[in-house]
Amino acid sequence: MEPFLNKFFHNIYLKMKSDDKVSNYCMFDSQLLTSFTSSLYVAGFVTSFFASYVTRVFGRKPSIVAGGAAFLAGTALGAAAFNVYMLIVGRLLLGVGVGFANQ
């Protein structure tokens, strides 16, 4: 979405606007955009290993509550983000929620 790119990934937005032939964001080399995209998946993958231990030791209910709290915190941080680093931390927390939910 153009307003999102303009606010958080302004350089990519400018490149996208300057080249009308390219419609794929992957054509733009941005490690920050890659970090934003992959942070949720990496956090979910890593957390899924720890979530099984938490469930085994504390039970299923605390594990579900921890996942829900991570989802809530990640959503709140993403909604309140004013820079891309807050977005990445919010997506990391969402990934923790995904890891607990997958477990």
pLDDT band at 18 (very low <50, low <70, confident <90, very high): confident
Which two structure tokens, joined as six digits, stand for 82?
């004013």
Residue 23 has a CB neighbour count (10 Å cut-off) of 8
Q: List the domain boundaries for the chain.
A: 30-102
101: nearest Cα among 67, 70, 72: 67
Residue 2 has a CB neighbour count (10 Å cut-off) of 9
Q: DSSP of 85-99, one letter per residue?
A: HHHHHHHHHHHHHHH
Per-residue pLDDT tens for 61-76?
999 999 999 999 999 9
- Assess contact for 97 and 68: CB atoms under 8 A: yes
| Residues of the chain above pLDDT 90, percent | 47
pTM higher than the cut 0.85: no
Handedness of CA 12, 18, 24, 26 (dihedral sign): negative
Residue 25 has pLDDT above 60, yes or no: no
Which two structure tokens, joined as six digits, stand for 81?
């983000």
What's the mean pLDDT in 13-17? 76
Q: Which residue do the tokens 């419609």 mark?
A: 23
Which two structure tokens, joined as six digits, stand for 64?
């579900």
Per-residue pLDDT tens for 85-101?
999 999 999 999 999 99
Given this model, what pLDDT does residue 96 score? 94
